[in-house]
Structure 1
Amino acid sequence: MPFILLSSLANIALGRGFFRYIDTERYNMLKMFTFIKASLSLFWPRDLVFRVTPKKADESIIRKDRRELLLHILLIGIILLSISIAVSNLIWKSFYDAESISIYVAIFWSIYNVVMLVVTILYIINRHYYRQKYRFPVKVRLQIKVRDSEWVTTTTCDISRHGVCITIFDNYQFDDDKISIILELPDGPLKAECILDSSVLQPNGFRKLGLTFQPFAQKEQNRLLYFLFVNLPRDAFNKQQLVPNYTSINDLKFPIKQ
Structure 2
Amino acid sequence: MNRYDGNTILIVDIDRVYGTQLAEVLASQGARTSFGSSIAEAKELLLQFDFDIVISNYYLTDGIIFQLIDWCEKNIRTLPIFTAMGNPLPGELDLLRKQSIADVFSKGDRNRMFTGISNLLFDFKEFQGNLQEMISPSEVMIELKVKEERMFARPIEIADDCIYLLLKQQFQAGMFGIMNFSLREKKEVQHFVIPGFFAGEFAEGQQFRINRTYQGHWKIFLDHMQDKQMNISNFLKKAAGH
TM over 0.5: no
Tell me the TM-score range normalised by the shorter chain: 0.3 to 0.5
TM-score (norm 1): 0.31
Higher Rg of the two aligned structures: 1
**Structure in which a larger fraction of residues adopt helix:** 1
TM-score (norm 2): 0.32
